[in-house]
Chain A
Amino acid sequence: MNHVSMDVLNAARERAWSMPLAQIAPADPQLFKDNAQWPFFERLRKEDPVHYTADSEFGPYWSITKYKDIMAVDTNHKAFSSLSTLGGISIRDQRADFPLPMFIAMDPPTHDEQRKVVSPIVAPGNLAVLEHTIRERAVAILDGLPRGEAFDWVDRVSIELTTQMLATLFDFPFEDRRKLTRWSDVATTVAGPGGVVETEEQRQTELRECAGYFMKLWNERVNAPPRGDLVSMLAHGESTRNMTPQEFLGNLILLIVGGNDTTRNSLTGGLYAFSQFPEQYQKLRANHALLDSTIPEIIRWQTPLAHMRRTAIVDQDVGGKHIKAGDKVIMWYVSGNRDDEVIANPNELVVDRARPRQHLSFGFGIHRCVGNRLAEMQLRIVWEEILKRDLDIEVLDEPERVLSTFIKGYTNLPVRIRN
């Protein structure tokens, strides 16, 4: 770590441990941008694991910070709702006029019905047919990278690879692929000056363009023989072919959004983590079989989604605190994944952990990430190809991070591949 970020972290540690407990408000985007959230969660895990913040830009909210308490909330969908009309799944309340229905922000029974339809499509057996193309494209990107000169890993590798993988999964016209990334950004953003979109109107216009584009693809594929891409599978699947256009689009956008920033930031996070723990990379380099445990470990260490939110619909005790119906509850995966009661040396990336799959990054319970095997497959392919080429990638400086309490990721990471 360089001096500037060390200073920021030291100042944060000072503040985290000296301020009155009641005033701790971890949902501060700037903290995450500065990577300075850690000491606040450390103190909460120790002194007030289920913590109430009475006032914030997001209104009052509970912070759930320990692994076991998070598991208890995540698996109790009868008490804790994901419903978009109650605010949805992130700390910022969802707009009431959100254009498309997505099962991530639904409760049973609708959630269950729609998830059952989509889930088999991203099951390991189905994914095998896509592996070859994904690998080819990953190889082309890696082989095209400059040698001996500085470049931005986020743009040249993480975004490009994730976008190409999405295009592969949907068999989306390749030359238009950056539209996918754009739509994902637009779907998840809050409109405002200087933002991804300036106005809500612009947002709606772009999402209508997305809808039109995918309807065209659907119509082409439904009239052609079934193939291995997700659109064709949705168009021909017994339980999916009668979806309404809204359902089709909602599910499609959810698949795009779900796999976009998360996979991108895991790709960057892995490389950055190895720069912090070089001896771990040497261990992996000496034994490629360790990739089986390395991939889930990277996903834990990075925790690409810092939290998921629920709204209590009945009174419910968690970790000795009384949460009331209507309260906003934040499950801080980013904190639970650093809980040393469950994970030893949690701040470190360790490529050969005994139980690397036991982490919170994909959530648990009925909303557990449906794309988790897909995400792991994509990451595994990239790291297999990097190892095969024995690329010596040097991280040149600290990354810049995303200003968000939800998406935990990077906007750039300067690197150089040594000749």
Chain B
Amino acid sequence: MPKITFIEHNGTAHVVDAEIGASVMRAAVDNNVPGIDGDCGGECACATCHVYVEPEWEAVTGSRTESEETMLSFAAATKDNSRLSCQITVSDALDGLVVHMPDGQH
């Protein structure tokens, strides 16, 4: 299984084994990573799965969809590399992915 590292706002890192075909949000929630809420269950409808993707990973993770863009525009502390992690699907190519989390989901 691909390994994904989630880094909390305070620097604490969590490495999890992610299931192929599921979303990055699911990988966090199913492994009890604090700081990713996923309130809507992955429907791109709540923006509580906000992460920052390291720029070198952008080619693999893809870029934001239109509805993702809209939901992110209401979130706090967004940056150029903000993504909704429920919109990124886990594949072998994501092995080693590192994402950072904001100080709170909203």
Contacts and interface: CB of A to CB of B under 8 A. Distances in A.
Contacts of B44: 75
A124 B103 contact: yes
A133 interface: no
B41 A125 contact: no
Interface stretch (B53-61, B69-77, B90-98): B69-77
A112 B73 contact: yes
Contacts of A115: 74
Interface in B6-40: 37-40
Interface in A353-406: 355, 357-358, 362, 364-366, 368, 370, 372-373
Residue among A116, A119, A123 facing the most chain B CB atoms (10 A cut-off): A123
Contact of B106 (A123, A365, A366): A123
Interface string B62-85: 000001001101111100000000
Contacts of B70: 108, 112, 366
Per DSSP, chain B at the interface is: loop
Interface residues of A, number: 24
A365 B39 CA distance: 11
B89 to A, nearest CB: 19
A190 interface: no
A71 B40 contact: yes
Contacts of A368: 45-47
B40 A364 contact: yes
A116 B37 contact: no
A125 B103 contact: yes
Given A123-B104, A125-B103, A357-B37, A364 B45 contact: yes
A123 B76 contact: yes
Contacts of A245: none
A124 B48 CA distance: 12
Contacts of A364: 40, 43, 45-46
A331 B103 CA distance: 32
28 contacts: A71-B45, A74-B45, A75-B44, A75-B67, A108-B70, A112-B73, A112-B74, A115-B74, A116-B73, A119-B75, A119-B76, A119-B106, A120-B76, A123-B76, A123-B104, A124-B106, A125-B77, A125-B104, A357-B37, A362-B39, A364-B40, A364-B46, A365-B45, A365-B71, A368-B47, A373-B104, A373-B105, A373-B106
Interface of A: 71, 74-75, 108, 112, 115-116, 119-120, 122-125, 355, 357-358, 362, 364-366, 368, 370, 372-373
